[in-house]
Amino acid sequence: MHSISDEKRHLNARAASHGYGAGQIEAGRLIDGWSIDELEKRAHEVLDQMDTAQAYAQAAPTGYDDYVHRAQAEGSSPSDANQIAYQAGFDIGFSAALVEGCGVLLGVRSRE
């Protein structure tokens, strides 16, 4: 029974990791899609109200279907728990990349 638990944990970690990376990519795409005129305004909105980053993450395409297709091609069948882990990873990766990207746009340094 111990190996089943470890297998589930591995599959969830893999899903979360893929989601995190996908979130980072989508945040970059979002920023790249902003016009020159709206860059500063949107960056300030994100940095002034951190919930804005999460709202953007929830509105973004997650790419989960692509993940499922790749996993199935490798002989794995993602579960509902894997989807939750993927989505959590996506939201975290997206939000982190969006906040970091907005900080770079505005020349804001993160706290060290």
Q: Write the pLDDT tens digit of every residue in 83-92.
A: 999 999 999 9
pLDDT score, position 58: 96
Is the CA virtual torsion 45, 47, 53, 54 positive or negative? Answer: negative
Task: Specify whether the backbone of 107 is left (phi greater than 0), alpha (psi in -120 to 50) or beta.
Answer: left
**Does residue 1 register a pLDDT over 50?**
no
pLDDT score, position 7: 85
SS3 10: helix
pLDDT score, position 80: 94
Q: How many helices (H) and strands (E) does the chain have?
A: 5, 0
pLDDT, tens digit, for every residue of 3-48?
Answer: 556 888 989 999 999 999 999 999 999 999 999 999 999 999 999 9
Contacts of residue 24, Cβ cutoff 8 Å, sequence gap at least 6:
93, 94, 96, 97
pTM of full prediction above 0.75: yes
